[in-house]
Structures are given as C-alpha cells and as structure tokens.
Amino acid sequence: MLNFRIVLVEPIYSGNVGSVARVMKNFGFSELVLLNPCEIDMPARVMSVHAYDIIENARIEFSLNDALKGSNTIIGMTGLPGKTDNKHFRVPAYSPRQLKEKLSGNNGIISLVFGREDAGLRNEELEICDIIVNIPTSHAYSSMNLSHAVAVVLYELSDIEGGDRFLADHFDIELLYEHIDGVLDDIEYKEHKEDKTKLMLSRILGRAQLTAREVQTLRGILRRIQWKLKTGEYGKSG
C-alpha cells in the first residue's frame, strides 16, 4: 500500500496550515510534517475547523532531511517547472493526474513536499526530489494558494490503488548516488561536468522508482566496474 506524507516547508501563515489540515481530512490523508513553521496560533485552529487533530499530531522538524527520513519517493511541487538558467536542472514535470498514474501499483512512503507561499521550493530543495509536479494553471495567473494546491494534488491521489511493488528506501537510493560518484571519480570524469552529470543521473533514476533489488543490482554492476578498473583484468568475464 502507499502511505502519503504531506510536508510543508516553512509555511508563513498559520491559517494556511489550518486550511491544509482541513483539505487533508477532506480527502483521507492524515500525516503532516511541518518544517520550520510559523507560529501555529488561532487562525490555524479556525481554518482547520474539524481537522485540528491533524495539526495536533503533526511532526515538526528543523531540517529537510529529517522531514523526509524514511521516504521511498520524494515528490516536489513547483509552480515554475524548468524556470532555471541551468539546463541540466530542467526536468519534465508531471501533472497531479500523471503522478497518480506513475505511483499506482507501488508500495511505500511517498513524501509530497510543498514550498513556501511566497517563494516555493528552492533549487537545492528540488534537487533532493525524485519527481517534480506542476499543477497546470492559467498563464494569466499561475500562482495558487498553498491549500488550494494541496487540495488539487490530494484530490487526484485520494483513490489511488497501491500494489506489491516495494519501492527502495530513499536512503538506499542515496547510497547508489554516492556509489555512482565514486565510479565517476575512478574513471576521472571531467570535473567541470561532474555535478551536472550527477544531477541528470539522479533525475533519471528518481523517475525510474527503483525497487530495493534493482538498486542492489545496479550497485553490483558498479562494484564490478570498479574491480575491473582496479585490477585491469578487462578481458575476463565473470
């Protein structure tokens, strides 16, 4: 089955936190994580109406890594897909409906990460995410209220069906990325291209939604490459 975690990064207005809690309860979601939130005062209680228990049970964290700990897949929300000077950072953004199709049939903890009301998620935060989601809106006015954006995404995911395809833990994915870094160093990959290549590879692998077995298979191949490089025995099979 799929378990969803809604992560709000540095929300500015407590009323928005309350509205998000209400939306979560509307669509059957309960796990809320608040990263460096504003003061959760009376507007949060008023706007949450009968969903204040979600706020009371929310986990408060002070680093994004802690907020995302235990995730299998990390989904970052952005209103400006591909709007960056770094062409290597640009990635295809899924709509909420396409996200539902991609996640269906999987099993794991999915973190849905929503950014600040005034600035969204920063590039370095989006780089951590496996998949990027953008809600198609009018070009005349694309900015959405935080709780409205959460509502659109959760509406699409409210009747999603999981399955028995167990996604790899994100910690294991990070170990795979570190292993790739090691191989790039071993082959003396061009230093000025290394960061961009790592980012592109993490995007490709993030969208692939690897299972634990697939991660171990890839790491086995990388170990074999490193062994060949170290021994120089390229002609032998095994």
Q: What is the pLDDT of residues 35-78, one digit of tens each?
A: 999 999 999 999 999 999 999 999 999 999 999 999 999 999 99
CA atoms of 137 and 230, how far apart (whole Å): 53
| Entry pTM | 0.89
Q: Which residues of the chain have pLDDT under 70?
A: 80-91, 233-238
Burial class (CB in 10 A: 0-12, 13-18, 19+), 171: exposed
- Residue 109's Cβ-side half-sphere holds a number of Cα atoms within 13 Å equal to 17
CA atoms of 70 and 61, how far apart (whole Å): 14
CA atoms of 157 and 152, how far apart (whole Å): 9
Of the candidates 132, 125, 127, 134, the one whose C-alpha atom is nearest the C-alpha of residue 196 is: 127
The pLDDT, as a whole number, for residue 117 is: 95
Our CA angle for 184, 127, 117, nearest 5°, is 170
The pLDDT, as a whole number, for residue 84 is: 47
3-class SS of residue 200: helix
The pLDDT, as a whole number, for residue 88 is: 45
The pLDDT, as a whole number, for residue 235 is: 56
The pLDDT, as a whole number, for residue 191 is: 78
Question: What are 142's two structure tokens?
Answer: 């694309």
